[in-house]
Structure 1
């Protein structure tokens, strides 16, 4: 069997001359020279210490640029520099006979490049992380997996499931035609639950998503995690964890509240997950109804939402149409029309102007007296259900149990 390094090196250009390094004058010549030195070391017998040192210098310099000012002001050239630094560090870690810890560190380095950098060399970091994941899986096949097999479904307390008033229930319809959906729901902007339109997803049948499955395809991958039950809380924060760490800390750990300083809810919520981990993207499909939008598939934003019972998305509105597909677990959802915005008390700050100040299921009637007058629809979303949330419709979401949802934002 080919060594790990031979597999990785096969994905690289065959020699230094074919390894292109082209940057604008926004990147200082001293940094470009450092990149060229690391490139030269990639094709020579330089010591591991020297390779690692040069790669780390590139990462430190570019990391400082990535964290100066707002993210939108970070020039793509510096994101590319960071990705090259990640590539050179991975190469340094995987030369020779890397230990298991070094391979896992290389996986994390690739993920940091995929999350914070920009695609280089036809997205070579994605190719390399696939090779590394295969190595991690191969080395773990002989290990005892009984512990994981015993927790295919996380045990949670019985969820508080609100009783749904039939008069307030979001209507349900099974597999409507494109014309029927457009005429009756899309054009008049009416919420509806679509049944039977994602039953063909591998995530619901051939590759049913479970804790074990997520561990197997993404356990060692580093992803952004939101810490806190809702993003409007003062102690809400973000961190980076592997999927295994996230599952152990927030999904399976019954003592997570006391062990995490009171911030007992962590939520994996991000739009990069399916690009970062293509195996998961292969388990889902964009709903056919998105073709009724103005753009093509490249303009559809796909988001992942994975977390424990009790995770709340405060009442808020989004600037695009939304299909929220439920894959694992259940969620309680309440919807308000944008026509009743004045009764929902949005935050005055520009940052949170699309979010209500009201705690939906426990409102302060003295501070927000008009809220009780606002009409709404509600539902409990179950696996296989897809909720159409029209553009600008206010929606509140609470996970009733361990839940994995996928949303599609489109215009």
Structure 2
């Protein structure tokens, strides 16, 4: 069984302590009981359908509770927002794309038809934006985006990391969140920013033997909870009910580290993206060598990286 670690919970009266944690600690935390507005009381499926209406939204439709971005086991569809929330709040559908028990997920986008603008909750959902209030947990000058998320009960998003710090504000329903420290990335079998491990509860899967070594940070989010997810922390969330949340991202590093054309905020920071491209180029250069040479130089490259990693770990332990 994987090792478990606690996610600290700060009550509303300790809001400043939570802000200090966000500013100085690189670990998840929950702020509970803070004032996030009337949304917690009023955002029922019926209210959202009435207030937002038939605004077209692009969604994921999944035949299974565990979505897999690498293998794309879901469909992209467009529905009116009022129909989306009605369907997502039901266990079974009269009208469906795949089968009556299909599940739905919305990660709101910008309204520009060509997909060239950044998600901004208050701008794109003005009829409900006044219901939501975010405590001032980060420097507003670093704000990047705010994303409305709507999900069917039980639908897990794939395990992934984000390149920016963010807070997930759970508004409607309960949700289980599972997070992994970036230093466990070798145990998560990454392909890009996503893990190949779809079922995070299956720690004995023979395909992923190192996964059982990963330390699992698990918590349950209640309506009104604010979860801090630091950049690079891998996370997997599973709604236990019909779920509505607002996710707010900010640039915790200097603006020059981020790709200005990245409207989703999910591209690796520029120095890392260039380094990873260099690594890919290096493996291509070695591809013309005989097998024993490739084996040797791949191992030598790994050795160089391990030496760099050891120096980083040593530096962190001394600081």
TM-score when scaled to structure 2? 0.67
Counterpart in the other structure of 2:103: 265
For CA contacts below 8 A with separation 6 or more, give which structure has more relative contact order.
Answer: 2
Q: Which string of whole-angstrom CA distances, capped at 9 and with x for unpartnered residues, describes residues 364-398 of structure 1?
A: 62111010011121011010111111111111101
Structure 2 CA distance, aligned partners of 1:408 and 1:224?
19
Structure 1 segments, 4+ long, off by >6 Å, are none
Q: Report the CA distance between 1:247 and its aligned residue.
A: 3.1
Q: Is the CA contact 2:10–2:30 (under 8 Å) kept in the aligned structure 1?
A: yes
Q: Which string of whole-angstrom CA distances, capped at 9 and with x for unpartnered residues, describes residues 161-180 of structure 1?
A: xxxx9x633110113354x3
Structure 1 CA distance, aligned partners of 2:73 and 2:23?
38
Counterpart in the other structure of 2:131: 283
Which residue of 26, 31, 45 maps to 1:194?
31
CA-based RMSD = 2.3
The structure carrying a bigger helix percent of its residues is 1
When residues 248 and 385 of structure 1 are mapped into structure 2, their CA distance, relative to the original with a 3 A threshold, is closer
Structure 2 CA distance, aligned partners of 1:194 and 1:376?
20
When residues 369 and 235 of structure 1 are mapped into structure 2, their CA distance, relative to the original with a 3 A threshold, is closer
Structure 1 CA distance, aligned partners of 2:135 and 2:15?
12
Kindly report which structure 2 residues correspond to 1:5-404, keeping only aligned pairs within 5 A, or say none. 168-175=5-12, 176-178=14-16, 180-199=17-36, 201-205=37-41, 208-228=42-62, 229=65, 230-232=67-69, 233-252=71-90, 254-255=92-93, 259-262=96-99, 264-272=102-110, 274-291=122-139, 295-296=141-142, 299-347=143-191, 353-358=192-197, 359-363=199-203, 365-404=205-244
Structure 1 CA distance, aligned partners of 2:188 and 2:151?
26
Q: Report the CA distance between 1:219 and its aligned residue.
A: 2.3
When residues 312 and 369 of structure 1 are mapped into structure 2, their CA distance, relative to the original with a 3 A threshold, is same
Q: Which string of whole-angstrom CA distances, capped at 9 and with x for unpartnered residues, describes residues 41-84 of structure 1?
A: xxxxxxxxxxxxxxxxxxxxxxxxxxxxxxxxxxxxxxxxxxxx
Q: Is the CA contact 2:85–2:150 (under 8 Å) kept in the aligned structure 1?
A: no
Aligned residue pairs: how many? Answer: 232
Unaligned runs of 5+ in 1: 1-164, 348-352
Q: Report the CA distance between 1:324 and its aligned residue.
A: 0.6
Structure 1 CA distance, aligned partners of 2:157 and 2:60?
12
3-state SS of the aligned residue for 1:334?
strand
For the pair shown, the structure with the greater C-alpha radius of gyration is 1
TM-score when scaled to structure 1? 0.52
Structure 2 CA distance, aligned partners of 1:260 and 1:198?
38
Structure 1 CA distance, aligned partners of 2:156 and 2:96?
20
Q: Is the CA contact 1:271–1:302 (under 8 Å) kept in the aligned structure 2?
A: no
Structure 1 CA distance, aligned partners of 2:61 and 2:19?
38
Q: Report the CA distance between 1:363 and its aligned residue.
A: 4.5
Counterpart in the other structure of 2:116: none
Q: Report the CA distance between 1:231 and its aligned residue.
A: 4.8
Structure 1 CA distance, aligned partners of 2:77 and 2:57?
8
The structure carrying a bigger strand percent of its residues is 2
Structure 1 CA distance, aligned partners of 2:226 and 2:61?
26
Q: Which string of whole-angstrom CA distances, capped at 9 and with x for unpartnered residues, describes residues 321-341 of structure 1?
A: 111111100111111100110
Q: Report the CA distance between 1:410 and its aligned residue.
A: 0.9
Counterpart in the other structure of 1:24: none
